[in-house]
Amino acid sequence: MKNIPEIKAIANKLFEDHHIMQVLISTTDGSPIFGEKRDNEGLGDELFIIPAAISSALAISNGFMESTLGDQVKEYVVFQEDSIILASREGNTVLILSISLPKTSFEPRPPIDNLITRSREAVAKVDAIVKTLDIEDSLIEKLQRAIPEASAILLLSSAGIPLTDLLSSLDVDSAQLAAVSSALSLPTRILGKHCQSVAVTGKKNIILLYALDADRILMVSLTPKHSVEHYLTQISQIVAY
């Protein structure tokens, strides 16, 4: 990730509220852009897992809101025992805040309405900055160049919810994608060992499923010109890079 002083300044302003413990910024497909904890503590897998999980939840929630109420989701709030996770979306950018809750019932809870307002204002500023940046091509764009014979490339949550896609020649719905994603998790449950990838071959086409992490699955549908091993090696190299 690049060091983006303008975004870091927005995060530092947010940290002026002592309730905010962590600031994460990602694209709506769950790809991390920025992450920092209070007092500059290091970020481990959270920088990848939390944005992927929140992006999946936003996709589900937004689909429901649009289909039933004709509205779009702007915030997603998760209440935990000792903290709140607040996600605000603007354009293709998601701002995720981890907010601490008081340890005793005698202390006042953080003003969530005020935090939502601040988060919404901050993500609008961040999205404006992100649009001006020369951010390197996304994983899916790299795969499209490397595998031109691919007819569809999708990024799914582990539950089969589409996070983003580049080519949409496959006419599938969320239920079908969930069934496809289970093809990757089933061997893991049966064998008790983590399965990195699964290949499903037909007479003319191949579907490759590749586990990026605990929350995201890459799905590539293609008419092969090379072996399955060739494509899996390509994907592994691009993902590792």
pLDDT at 134: 67
Which of 114-118, 129-133, 213-217 has the highest mean predicted lDDT (pLDDT)?
114-118
In the three-class reduction of DSSP (H, G, I as helix; E, B as strand; rest coil), residue 65 is classed as: helix
Instruction: Write a three-state SS string for 126-161.
Output: HHHHHHHCCCCCCHHHHHHHHCCCEEEEEEEECCCC
pLDDT at 137: 63
Per DSSP bridges, beta strands 197-201 and 83-90 are unpaired
6 within 8 A of 28, measured Cβ to Cβ? no
| Per-residue pLDDT tens digits for 167-225 | 555 666 666 777 777 877 777 767 777 788 989 898 999 989 998 887 788 889 899 99
Q: What percent of the chain has pLDDT over 90?
A: 30
Which residue in the block uniquely carries the two structure tokens 């497909």? 29
Q: Among 99, 70, 71, which residue's Cα sits nearest to residue 87?
A: 99
Torsion of CA 152, 153, 158, 160, to 10 degrees: -30
Indicate the range of 3-17, 98-112, 123-137, 160-174 predicted with least confidence. 160-174
| Per-residue pLDDT tens digits for 48-95 | 678 878 887 887 788 788 888 988 888 999 998 889 999 999 988 999
In the three-class reduction of DSSP (H, G, I as helix; E, B as strand; rest coil), residue 177 is classed as: helix
Whether this prediction's pTM lies above 0.75 is answered by no
pLDDT at 200: 87
- The Cα–Cα gap between 39 and 144 comes to 40
More confident residue, 156 or 121: 121
The vertex-32 CA angle with 48 and 82, nearest 5°, equals: 55
User: What are the chain's domains?
Assistant: 5-132 (3.30.450.30), 139-240 (3.30.450.30)
